[in-house]
Structures are given as structure tokens and as C-alpha cells.
Chain A
């Protein structure tokens, strides 16, 4: 007979009629299951959806064909023949892997080509590719500031910025979302007390699809001698002339000290990037631990990145198509009576209000062949639960009408419109 006692550290084992007490050591893995079970109990676990197709405008998700409205593949470049060919050609030429970290023997010619082409595209002096966007933020931010410095951050900044900031010894101050008078107040206070000041913001905010007023931020930063850093992950390939990003959007190319972005969204590949001065790049690759300590991109990745820049420079129709789709979809949603908030980008929230309703709408949309996920508190305010849709340039008018029809019918069914 074995009786288990609830005490996790001590477990008495009673054998036969003779009582033998044995004190076992702690179970080192017990928390894994306990904590996962707790997440499941609170409905907080991630339900992973599996795509049997690639990330396409019509994807096969968990065995069902759906219209994709929640990928970051804004321009549908991940399926572009030139990118696929770029990947294959680079793999054929350079092999499957890079062999090392960039710092030692893992910098291939194709890596440097991407960086040159990217700087040209971004109209900056130089650029540097990181393994991921997260690696760029968490590797570079802690090097830009240290003890005696301050990071000033928009209150709605993305998690990877927050993690980067957590790694610094610098003080941190928050300003109200896109509120320039609040930023100015913090700057005034910081000006007296700190050695270096770094202002950090998302370019396009991923929950509401609004854009940071980068022109005003740069102006304020210049007044106070502060450095500017923008995470343009959702703006790269989307806003600005031919998708050149937030610098081009505000016509301040080269004036933002650090333009950080990613190849994993509109560019359709993977990889983080920074663009700015040569001084910035020299500093960044010598100091970013994430860059120095992880293997460099496989050649196929770089080949596809290079092709993505080619496509953006020579085929403006993708960005145009993305925006045409966005404008049409937003306009139609609004005329159906949906509240789409203050979005200025292809991220269009459909604000439902109640969290339960948002989840219900998302489930029903999926059943009807539209894939868009709900965003609920605490990611957004309690009464602002929503379906977040992200437009794709590969969707046709027929696809959009199909999706709009589902939104209309289910919106009425759930008394949202």
C-alpha cells in the first residue's frame, strides 16, 4: 500500500504492515506540470494552431481552409517566387548553415550584401542584421544606456523592448501613450539628472495600429540631447514610400538614431535589423551579446532577405495592394457599423467590447472560414476587447467580401452591430 501525503517534500511510504518511513528528496520537475495545469485551469495556455499550408492568404489551419487575417505576412512576400528562389540559390551556393557566430567565422558575403542593400533601402548610412527582432532589442538596448542614464518609454511599448530595458542598469520612466506633453515633462525632469537619455517607442503599435509621432519625438529629443530608438517591426515594409518604414513615413530618414525592425513581418522572412549611422553599427556589433553569441542566419534566410529588398524596390504593387485592401476593408467594416478604433495602418481592430463576445466572434469566424484572433484584457482595456485583423496584400476583393459577409452576419447574430 502506498499512501501519498499532500506535503510535496515529504512522502511517507507505508509498506505491508510494517511502517517504514522514507523521506524522499524534492521532486525537481513537479512544478512543470503544476504550473501548466494552473494555466489550463485559468484558460491562459496557448492553443497552438498548426498550418498545413504555408502562411498564405488562404491557409489550411488545423485542417480547415481559412482566410488569413492574423499573420504578419502583410505583403504576402513569404510566398513570392523571387524570395523562394533567392533562398534556394543561396542555399545551393553557400550551404544549409553558416558554421559560426558572425564575430568568428560566420559572416558570409551574403550577410554583408543584405546589410549594404538594406542601408540603401532605408536611406541610412549603415545597417546591421540580428538573428531576430527580439535579439536586436534585448542585445542593443542594454548597451546604449547604463548606470546614471535613463530610458524614456511609451507606456504601450512591445514586450521585447521592455525586456531589453530590464537588462539595463539605467533608470526608466514612462510617458503616456503618444502624449508629447507628457514626454516633454519627463525629458525636462531627466535633463537635470542624467548622463544619457534614450527615448524608445514602437513605430506602429501592434494592438491599435496607431503610429508614434516620430517627427515630434525627434524634435523633442534634439531639444534635450536625447537619443531616439524606434521599434518599427509593424511599419517596416508597410508605411513610408515603398514600405521604407517610419523614417520615410515622416520624411526624416537618417534622423532617427536607431531604426530597428524585422524581416519576419512584411518582408516575409525572419531576422532583426537596425539602421542608422556607421558609428551605431560599429558600436552595436561589438557590444550586443545576442549578436555576438548566437549563430548567424543560414544562407537561405539571407538569400530570401535580399530578394525581399529587391521586390520592394522593383515591385511597388504589393505595398499598394496592401493599402488598397486595408482602406476597402476598414471602410466596409465601418459602414457595417463596426468600431475600428483609431488605426492608421493595416492592423484593423474590430472593437467588440465584451471579452466573451470577442472570443465567441473569433470562434464563429473560424468555423465560417475566417482566421482572426481575439485580443482581450489585459492586452487592451476591459471594455475594449476586440478581434485584431491584419491585412494581407495577397487577398482578393472576393476574399475580403467573403470575410466582410461573415463579420456582418456574425456581428448581427451577436448583437455587436
Chain B
């Protein structure tokens, strides 16, 4: 049976890096003037080549793509003939609008998976149009790749694509992260969660017989984690809980019927929403009234950050007041496969040091089920 794969390359992704621009959003001309060379095309071709070598059934793939360097040229170079061009960029240089317009075309007859080549900016542009309608897989080629939809390397992306086609991987949630580039070029680092897309993930398996396993959907695993959190809420009736950003926490809140801000932090007390989308100042105010507080966190994005990327409201002052022993980290096993190391970058060296001394963190991965995961404090 044939598989339809959408394929889009952001030809200018990754150009800023070599000339020290930290991204090409809004500054393409400047990057070109500084002598930036296109890297996305090479990365895309590298992935396609790897995939063609790996995959025995790559002939069953129909590629839906865009003209020129937005996909067609790359497929052509690698010798892939089974393709249809559904979009042609209008001007000489491509822009974010071309990415978005191409995505609108893809939606007219949605492929099974949309493979794109670019960075966080590209992922964000695609997500704006595609939302959760098509699962995404990113070939990392940009300057910043914090989003959870990227393969770790071009090679790993090719392998994931092959496994998706062989139905070994399944569809699950993946975060789209965004760095404020304007602030970043000025020297400030602010990564935030932009939204939850569909990505492809390793299914979780449980042993149901002697040598017989059953795969469990991501949703079932999250049900188990929600059940666990529910027990925690019931055990600690006089505690406030801060439900932080991210897809895993969001689904837990939904399952517990607690209203939750996907991109923000909510305060919950006795399973009721106390305050919505709170900032640092508001958290500090709440802590005066509710000194006993637990933080419910989940790693966000591709690098496994639990603090320091997104969740910036959890400032060092807030964490010191609450105490690191009151942080509950939850993650689905499929997520931990891709982010086997958790990272912390609070901006406060002394606090980072306390995490570093711990070295490991217990992470809840199911109902009453946890495992230790290595913790690193170097910023990524």
C-alpha cells in the first residue's frame, strides 16, 4: 500500500548560524549579504539519500512537494521520481508566506505525514496552518531546533521516516517551541512553548503474556499518569499545585477536568483552578497564602528541558521558595526515549548547582511508576 508523504524545504533555514545571526526570521537579506550559504537543501538531500538506502519499500512512497528549492529540486537530485508538485513559490526568494501557502495546498489532500526541513521558525510557520491535522517530522537544518518534531540528526530523521512507513512508529503529541528572535539577537534567551502539534513517536509496550507484548497508545499512558497525579492531589489536600506548560500536563489537566492554559502555568487547589496563566509575581503572591506547594512539570521540546525553556515564570526565587523536593516531573516513556537526559537552566548558578548535585531525578512514567533519569544543568 502506498504512503503519501508531504515534503517541504525552507531553503533559507540555517543560513543565519554561520554568520552569527542566530536565525533568519526577518533578516534574510542581511544574512545573504554577510555571505550565508544555503544549508537546508544539503540537509534535505542527505536525509532523502539515507532514506532511499535504508528503506526497502521507499518505492511505495508518493511525495507531495513544492517547486524549486522548496522540495522538488532536492527530490530530483536524489533521483526520486514518484512525486507531485502542488505548490510553486511566487517570488525569487522564498518567505514564510510561501511555507504557509504551501501548507494550505497540502491540506487540500492531506498526506499521511509532512516532512519538512528547517528550524524552529519553519516548524512554527507550518504548525500555524497545519495545526494537528497532519503529523510533522522535521529534518534539523535551522539554527535553533527546540521543537519536539525534529529528528536528532538527518540520519535519525531518515530512520524515523522509514519506521513510520513500516508502521513501527505511531502518532503522538510533540511541542512546537519558539524563541523570540528579536530578543535573542539582543542577547536575551526566551524559549516558549508555541503549541502542541502531532509528531511521530515510539509506542509504549507492556508485556501481556510470556513473550507477547501489546502497544499502549500515548493517550492510555497519559491516563495512567493522570491517575497518579489525581492520587497526589487527593493525598495533599492542603497543598497548591502549579500545573506547568506542555502537552503532557495539559492532557493530565483535561483528564482531571481541570481547566488549563496550554502555554501558561495554572495554580490548582483541591482540584479546582485557583488562578489562570500566572506570572512570576502572581505565583509569589499565591505562595504567601499557600506556602505548601508542589510543581507539576514535564520536559518540553527536543532537548528535555524541564526548567529554563518555557516555564520561565518559575524563576529561581519561586523554585527556592517551593523547594526542589516539591517538584514532580512526569513524562511518557516514549518521550524519555528521545530525551533520555533532562536539563535544567534556571539562570541562577547556585540553584543549578543544587540540581547538579542531585544528578538524577525520579520521573513519573505511569500510575505509581517511576524511574530515575539523568539530570544535567549545562545550558544547551
Contacts and interface: CB of A to CB of B under 8 A. Distances in A.
Contacts of B34: none
Interface in A38-93: 44, 46
Contacts of A379: 211, 213
Contacts of B210: 158-159
Contact of B372 (A46, A171, A189, A375): A189
B85 to A, nearest CB: 34
Chain B interface, DSSP helix/strand/loop, else mixed: strand
B368 A172 contact: yes
Contacts of B372: 173, 175, 182, 185-186, 189
Given A173-B362, A185-B360, A378 B368 contact: no
Interface residues of B, number: 20
A162 interface: yes
A197 to B, nearest CB: 14
A159 B207 contact: yes
Interface string A146-173: 0000000001001100100000011111
Contacts of B212: 44, 46
B168 A382 contact: yes
Contact of B208 (A159, A169, A189, A377): A159
B370 A172 contact: yes
Interface in B342-380: 359-360, 362, 365, 368-372
Contacts of B211: 375, 379
Nearest to A186: B372
B189 interface: no
B209 interface: yes
A61 B237 CA distance: 61
B371 A174 contact: yes
B362 A175 contact: no
Contacts, number: 48
B128 interface: no
Contacts of A44: 212
Contacts of A159: 207-210
Contact of A171 (B207, B208, B360, B368): B368
A173 B369 contact: yes
A198 to B, nearest CB: 14
Interface string B213-240: 1010000000000000000000000000
A375 B215 CA distance: 16
Contacts of A169: 368
Contact of A378 (B205, B359, B371): B205
Contacts of B371: 155, 173-175, 186
A375 B369 CA distance: 27
A174 B369 contact: yes
Contacts of B209: 159
14 contacts: A44-B212, A155-B371, A158-B207, A159-B209, A172-B369, A173-B369, A173-B370, A174-B370, A175-B371, A182-B372, A375-B211, A378-B213, A379-B211, A382-B168
Interface of B: 168, 205-213, 215, 359-360, 362, 365, 368-372
Give me the 10 closest cross-chain CB pairs, A-B, nearest first.
A159-B207, A378-B205, A174-B371, A171-B368, A378-B213, A172-B369, A185-B372, A173-B370, A185-B360, A379-B211
Given A172-B368, A182-B372, 6 more contacts: A46-B212, A155-B371, A172-B369, A173-B372, A378-B205, A378-B213
